[in-house]
A = this chain, B = another copy of it.
Amino acid sequence: MAMRKQVADKAGVSEATVSRVFSGSEAVKPKTRDRVLQAASELGYVPSELARQFAKRRSGNIGVVLPYLPKVQLFSTYYFSEILGGISEAAREHGADLLLLQRSPDERREYELLFRQRKVGGLIVLGARDGEEEREALLELERNGHPYALVNQRMDGLERRTVEADHLEGSRLATAHLLEQGWSRPAFIGGPPDYSNSRDRLLGYRDAMSAVGADRIEPLVGNYSRKSGLEMAAAAARLIRGGEADALAAANDRMAIGLLQGLRQLGLEAGRDYGLAGYDDSDGARLTQPALTSVSASFDEMGRLAAQLALGELKRPPGKLPPRLVERESSRRRGV
């Protein structure tokens, strides 16, 4: 299997030259180059990526850490596949491969280990939370100068590593839209505050309310699952029936959909009895009846940027990506 030797002989060159031809790094005379390529193709020789990585002491892989996703789906699969798509494209352009690291429930976050094992040359952490353990693991990467990226999660001191959309602005857009549609008292349905994301979205809601001098309503808090949306429906119905709120700005689509379904069972229809807006513009937003108004952030673009950070190709992310409102029926005022 010392195939490279054979190729070298056949082309009448040394093994080093064969190597040069394939790595493309150094200059080789076109003529010898062709001879080598010819010989290689005849013999069916392909360099071992493994040996190459070993010799260079670096794996060309970029690791993607996915959070543990139990049956109760907090995130939509849509969200991750969009991001993954973007990562995948950028990685391909740089000849990097993706190592998928699905987190198990117990498992410690030993991100640095992945680098020491030479399994990855860069890391992207999806669905990180703002906790002590996570921060510790990330700080260790920082200390060792390992390239990594966080998506949609800011952490103190690690801002340079975060790729995100301007979720404050996105949430503001959604709330402002509800107000423009003539719903005068939108309430906010938020997510767990250990995602910076959740906090931003709440702030956006407040901004929009302040801008028109509207009273803020105490937000309901769910966990981003559809189930939690269903569970909050009763409380939301009370707000609506009691006249305290006439619209709901949810921090993600899944909760919005749960609310839409739960409120329907209680006799309240989105677009007729209250205005509803979600966030993420997931697949599901197009499937409900009425279709869900939502906010779209370019997840694939975020994936691309994260990959560039993890490849060390980008020093720090550009500003926050601008979200866009996607208007559908759930927020429009239908005749009664």
Contact = CB atoms under 8 A, between A and B. Distances in A.
Interface stretch (A29-37, A51-59, A312-320): A51-59
For this chain, the copies found in one complex come to 2
A293 B304 CA distance: 37
B99 A98 contact: yes
Contacts of A77: 77-78, 80-81, 283
A88 interface: yes
Contacts of A97: 99-101, 119
Given A81-B77, A287-B284, A49 B98 contact: no
Contacts of A78: 77
Contact of A92 (B51, B73, B102, B287): B102
A287 B264 CA distance: 13
Interface string A75-90: 0111011001100110
Interface stretch (A110-118, A170-178, A195-203, A242-250): A110-118
A182 interface: no
Contacts of A80: 77, 81
A45 B92 CA distance: 32
A48 B117 contact: yes
B46 A50 contact: no
A104 interface: yes
A321 interface: no
Contacts of A101: 97-98
Contacts of A104: 92
Contacts of A48: 116-118
Contacts of A286: 226
B85 A117 contact: no
25 contacts: A48-B116, A48-B117, A48-B118, A49-B117, A50-B57, A50-B119, A53-B54, A54-B54, A61-B99, A73-B283, A77-B283, A88-B102, A89-B102, A97-B100, A97-B101, A98-B99, A98-B102, A99-B100, A100-B100, A226-B286, A257-B287, A264-B289, A284-B287, A287-B287, A289-B289
Given A81-B81, A89-B102, 19 more contacts: A47-B117, A50-B53, A50-B57, A50-B117, A53-B54, A54-B54, A64-B100, A77-B80, A77-B81, A84-B102, A88-B100, A92-B102, A97-B101, A97-B119, A98-B99, A98-B100, A98-B102, A264-B289, A284-B287
* Interchain residue pairs A-B with the least CB separation, the first 7: A50-B118, A54-B54, A289-B289, A49-B117, A98-B100, A88-B102, A77-B81
